[in-house]
Amino acid sequence: MALLASSLLSNVFGAPCELDLQIDAEPGRKKAPVTRDKKGELGYIFTDGEDVCGTATVRLKGDKRLEHQGIRVELIGQVDMLYDRSSSYDFFSIAKDLEPPGVLTETRSYKWK
């Protein structure tokens, strides 16, 4: 009974979707640590003039529908200051709207560049 109640509550209060973001990069592209402690996930390094492209997939869970205020991908270039760990500097930011506000009723993939 507790498992059923937990399952019902997660359907009511849980996230209605999952987001998967894939960046298209050739094998062997340089990577750098994403976090300050240099452990964990690595991010691709791109230089000036290179195109950054990929696919964003919004997967709906079960028969849920997702009412949204728009779907966008945003790329932010950021430098962390070594002398002040609580501060960072955004040197680049670009956004692309993939979907206007509306309702998703099924899983959807968006190619972006």
Q: What percentage of the chain carries pLDDT values higher than 70? A: 88
Which residue has better confidence, 4 or 70? 70
5 by DSSP, 3-state: which? helix
Domains of the chain as residue ranges with CATH? 16-112 (2.60.40.640)
Q: What is the pLDDT of residues 71-80, one digit of tens each?
A: 999 988 877 7
Which pairs from 24-30 meet CB under 8 Å and 24+ separation? 24/53, 24/54, 24/55
Q: What is the pLDDT of residues 91-100, one digit of tens each?
A: 888 999 999 9
- In degrees and rounded to multiples of 5, residue 6 shows phi and psi of -65, -40
Q: What is the pLDDT of residues 5-55, one digit of tens each?
A: 444 444 556 788 899 999 999 999 999 888 777 788 898 888 888 899 999
The DSSP code for 81 is -
